[in-house]
Structure 1
Amino acid sequence: MGEGSDLLKYMTHRAATYLTTPPAPAERKANRLPWTTQWFGMVPMGMQLWWEDKRGKPARAEAEPTYENL
């Protein structure tokens, strides 16, 4: 029974440390959404895709995989 209580103490300590430690500033900034998405959701991206399609300009996308790229 002593072994189980030690494990419980260890896991509780690890969980409390994880929950109380703030993330590093660089990590927080990397996980942030662009402000247009945060404020307006997917509407700006949809409008951009619609506008590029309307103008006949190819949509921005990664190059399609070819046999040379594989």
Structure 2
Amino acid sequence: MLLVGTFPFNAFLAGFLSCVGFFALTVCLRMQVDPANKEFSGISPERAFADYCLANLVLHLVVWNYMG
């Protein structure tokens, strides 16, 4: 079997970066929503969740385009 291009490697990188990016975004959401964390007291939980959804949409669009 002859492999042409870098599709398998790009798909692996996209999958790996998707997992790492999703983990980082989820950690950021949990930090912003945690009532014990006073650093993000100015951000409402609804705003934090909306930012999380938008960032996930952008992340998945980038991953989808990178896979080819």
Q: TM-score, normalization: structure 1? A: 0.33
Higher helix share: 2
Higher alpha-carbon Rg: 1
TM-score, with normalisation over the residues of structure 2?
0.34
Structure showing greater relative contact order (alpha-carbon pairs closer than 8 Å, 6 or more residues apart):
2
